[in-house]
């Protein structure tokens, strides 16, 4: 009971802080008389939802790009980490390359992707994917290695198979690392999709923002940013939820 | 005359680095009877752990003979070894009971009986009521008790302990020494106990194998004819001091 009310109090605080920011935003604009086209009030931002910008369609498109790229990065990143771990020569050969690739600012590849794959949802998924892949691959790869050699010796004296070592020791031990990589990747996946839309597209929230920018419709631009953020927040929330159920409180990294 | 349970004769092991060979173990010769508790003592780098790992089948060796098991008690190296290391090496995502179950799972022992045995062993090591806790909820001493229960769960014939109490504070260590003697008498296992603590070696062992470093070799096989059950005040007896002084001399300390 006490625990419950404590938690409710925490959530209450989070909501209050956010509402506080909105309130300060509103008051600041009213007091300073900043013109609407520079900075809209929270009310004006919200009102823009009522106008016909195709919010729903554009949000769905951007959402598909973000979640598609992110999901693909998890599947490919985890698979590559497993292959690296199981076939050490492959790792020795490719890991240095992966570390170099990680240094490329992936958004700089955006224009190239569009040349190669044309513009649209598909190439934006690829941009989002390429930016998320390495943090997921690198953390998972690291996590699979984090096993005490003495523990391996211990189970080897019991003739443990490679599969048993993997499923009972390596994989559960690697999950907290994977989740830390997945959390970093949530922010990146949103950035990747939006950059793709900025470069060339005909739908999505990034595209919409470029359109309304011409008319200095800052209220709609603000709404665009809020919806993009919301896509990211929902993703992050699901990752936290998944982490809670899969990893629990006891298996966090240190 | 029947053969001893463990027989090591002139065992020799070198580690090769790129440039030179390093002699880790040489001239190690000793026998162990069923149900004995033997201490192996020596300074760090004298090859104590290597001897243990040779017995466990983790390390190979170049010269001499190693034989475990006799007519009276057969020995299956993939089922009959229990190991305890300096670190408890518990899986932090598993409850205490499930940690103890690990060897039984790897060996594919019948689950129900293994669970009963795991509970019985947790009682024996004084952890009744902690079955559903996670490792991070237990003190260092309790974690090490868990790892002792884990080493016993598959009912192995030989327990190998590598400085199991080395990471504990002095007082907990003394308590654990008494506990180990009790567990040994209750379980009637053959135990090889590696330590660099001379007092600990003499207090626990019915015999003490003394190894020296530079060059690595076996210096003594000392019979400790103090009666069991041993008590803490034996440490102040004249005989106890005689044994420890004798070992200190081997280490070049007078």
Strand pairing class (B6-16; B21-32): antiparallel
**What average pLDDT does the structure give for chain B?**
91
| Packed helices A55-86 and A205-213: angle between N→C axes, nearest 10 degrees | 130
Return the domain boundaries, chain B.
1-80+158-254, 87-156
Question: Which run of H or of E encompasses B173?
Answer: helix B170-187
Contacts of A156 in chain B (CB under 8 A): 58
Indicate the pLDDT class of residue A251, thresholds 50, 70 and 90.
low
| Packed helices B96-107 and B111-124: angle between N→C axes, nearest 10 degrees | 140
Whether residue A156 and residue B93 make contact (CB cut-off 8 A), yes or no, is no
Q: Which region among A17-31, A93-107, B85-99 has the lowest average model confidence (pLDDT)?
A: A93-107
SS3 state at B206: coil
Question: Residue B14's beta-bridge partner residues?
Answer: B23
Q: For a pLDDT cut of 90, what percent of chain A falls above it?
A: 65
pLDDT digit string, tens, across residues B139-196:
999 999 999 999 999 999 999 999 999 888 999 899 999 999 999 998 889 999 999 9
| Two structure tokens written together for B116 | 């009963």
| Two structure tokens written together for A102 | 């990680």
Cα–Cα nearest to B141, from B117, B123, B167: B167
- The answer to whether residue B132 neighbours chain A at the CB level (below 8 Å) is no
CA distance B133 to A84: 35
Whether residue A158 and residue B85 make contact (CB cut-off 8 A), yes or no, is no
For residues B102-126, average pLDDT? 94
CA distance A26 to A43: 8
Whether residue A158 and residue B136 make contact (CB cut-off 8 A), yes or no, is no
- What 8-state DSSP symbol labels residue B228? S
CA distance A83 to A18: 44
> What top-level class would CATH report for the domain B1-80+158-254?
alpha beta
Contacts of B134 in chain A (CB under 8 A): 250
Instruction: Give the count of beta carbons closer than 10 Å to the beta carbon of residue B82.
Output: 27
The answer to whether B83 touches A154, Cβ cutoff 8 Å, is yes
More reliable by pLDDT, B34 or A4 = B34
pLDDT value of residue A165: 93
SS (H, E, C) chain A: CHHHHHHHHHHHHHHHHHHHHHHHHHHHHHHHCCCCCCCCCHHHHHHHHHCCCCHHHHHHHHHHHHHHHHHHHHHHHHHHHHHHHHCHHHHHHHHHHHHHHHHCCHHHHHHHHHHHHCCCHHHHHHHHHHHHHHHHHHHHHHHHHCCCHHHHHHHHCCCCCHHHHHHHHHHHHHHHHHHHHHHHHHHHHHHHHHHHHHHCCCCCHHHHHHHHHCCCCHHHHHHHHHHHHHHHHHHHHHHHHHHHHHCCCCCCCC
CA distance A155 to B78: 10
Cα–Cα nearest to B7, from B30, B36, B34: B30
CA distance B14 to B24: 5
Contacts of A173 in chain B (CB under 8 A): 91, 93
**Residue A246 scores a pLDDT above 80:** yes
Whether residue B107 and residue A251 make contact (CB cut-off 8 A), yes or no, is no
Whether residue B78 and residue A158 make contact (CB cut-off 8 A), yes or no, is yes
The answer to whether B11 touches B60, Cβ cutoff 8 Å, is no
Closest-CA residue of A relative to B89 is A151
The answer to whether B146 touches B100, Cβ cutoff 8 Å, is yes
**Diameter of chain A by CA atoms?**
76
Instruction: Give the count of beta carbons closer than 10 Å to the beta carbon of residue B55.
Output: 22
Contacts of B87 in chain A (CB under 8 A): 148, 150
Question: Residue B207's beta-bridge partner residues?
Answer: B38, B223
Whether residue A172 and residue B91 make contact (CB cut-off 8 A), yes or no, is yes
Distances (CA, A) of A117 to A102, A122, B216: 22, 8, 66
For residues B205-209, average pLDDT? 94
pLDDT digit string, tens, across residues A86-145:
999 999 999 899 888 888 888 888 888 888 988 889 999 999 999 999 999 999 999 999
Indicate the pLDDT class of residue A82, thresholds 50, 70 and 90.
very high
Contacts of B83 in chain A (CB under 8 A): 153-154, 157
Indicate the pLDDT class of residue A254, thresholds 50, 70 and 90.
very low
**Residue A9 scores a pLDDT above 70:** yes
pLDDT digit string, tens, across residues A36-77:
888 899 998 999 988 888 999 999 999 999 999 999 999 999
pLDDT digit string, tens, across residues A142-200:
999 988 989 999 999 999 998 999 999 999 999 999 999 999 999 999 999 999 999 98
**What average pLDDT does the structure give for chain A?**
90
Cα–Cα nearest to B45, from B237, B253, B251: B251
**Residue B254 scores a pLDDT above 80:** no
DSSP B18-43: SS-EEEEEEEEEEEE-TT-EEEEE--
pLDDT value of residue B45: 76
Q: State residue B208 phi and psi, 5-degree precision.
A: -125, 120
DSSP B83-147: EE-SS----TTS-HHHHHHHHHHHHT--HHHHHHHHHHHHHHTT-TT-TTS-GGGS-HHHHHHHH
pLDDT value of residue B1: 56
Instruction: Give the count of beta carbons closer than 10 Å to the beta carbon of residue A13.
Output: 10
Domains detected in chain A: 50-246 (1.10.3720.10)
């Amino acid at each position: 009971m006490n625990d419950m009310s404590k938690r409710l109090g925490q959530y209450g605080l989070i909501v209050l802080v956010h509402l506080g920011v909105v309130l300060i935003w509103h008051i600041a604009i009213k007091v300073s008389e900043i013109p609407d086209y520079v900075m809209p009030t929270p009310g004006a931002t919200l009102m823009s939802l009522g106008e016909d910008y195709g919010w729903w369609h554009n949000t769905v498109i951007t959402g598909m790009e973000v979640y598609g790229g992110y999901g693909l990065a998890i599947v490919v990143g985890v698979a590559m980490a497993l292959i690296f771990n199981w076939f050490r020569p492959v790792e020795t050969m490719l890991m240095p390359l992966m570390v170099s690739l990680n240094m490329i600012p992936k958004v700089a590849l955006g224009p190239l992707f569009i040349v190669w794959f044309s513009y649209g949802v598909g190439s934006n998924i690829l941009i989002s994917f390429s930016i998320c892949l390495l943090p997921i691959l690198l953390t998972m790869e690291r996590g699979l290695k984090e096993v005490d050699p003495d523990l391996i010796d211990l189970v080897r004296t019991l003739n443990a198979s490679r599969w048993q070592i993997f499923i009972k020791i390596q994989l559960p031990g690697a999950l907290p690392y994977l989740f830390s990589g997945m959390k970093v990747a949530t922010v990146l996946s949103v950035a990747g999709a939006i950059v793709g839309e900025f470069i060339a597209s005909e739908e999505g929230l990034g595209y919409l923002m470029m359109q309304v920018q011409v008319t200095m419709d800052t209220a709609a631009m603000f709404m665009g940013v809020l919806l993009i953020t919301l896509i990211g927040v929902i993703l992050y929330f699901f990752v936290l939820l998944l982490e809670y159920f899969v990893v629990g409180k006891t298996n966090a990294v240190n | 005359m029947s053969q001893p349970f463990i027989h090591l004769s002139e065992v020799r092991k070198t580690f090769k680095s790129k440039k030179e060979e390093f002699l880790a173990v040489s001239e190690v010769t000793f026998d162990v009877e069923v149900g004995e508790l033997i201490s192996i003592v020596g300074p760090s780098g004298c090859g104590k752990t290597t001897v243990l790992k040779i017995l466990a089948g983790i390390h190979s060796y170049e010269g001499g003979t190693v034989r475990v098991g006799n007519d009276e008690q057969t020995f299956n190296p993939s089922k009959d070894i229990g190991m305890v290391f300096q670190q408890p090496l518990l899986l932090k995502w598993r409850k205490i009971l499930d940690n103890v179950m690990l060897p039984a799972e790897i060996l594919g022992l019948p689950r129900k009986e293994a669970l009963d045995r795991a509970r019985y062993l947790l009682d024996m090591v004084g952890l009744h009521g902690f079955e559903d806790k996670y490792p991070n909820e237990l003190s260092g001493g309790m974690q090490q008790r868990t790892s002792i229960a884990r080493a016993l769960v598959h009912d192995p014939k030989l327990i190998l302990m590598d400085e199991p109490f080395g990471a504990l504070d002095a007082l907990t260590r003394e308590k654990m020494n008494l506990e180990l003697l009790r567990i040994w008498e209750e379980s009637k296992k053959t135990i090889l106990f590696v330590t660099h603590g001379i007092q600990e070696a003499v207090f626990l062992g019915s015999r003490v194998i003394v190894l020296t470093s530079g060059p690595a070799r076996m210096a003594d096989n000392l019979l400790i004819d103090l009666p069991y059950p041993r008590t803490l005040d034996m440490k102040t007896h004249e005989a106890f001091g005689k044994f420890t002084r004798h070992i200190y001399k081997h280490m070049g300390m007078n």
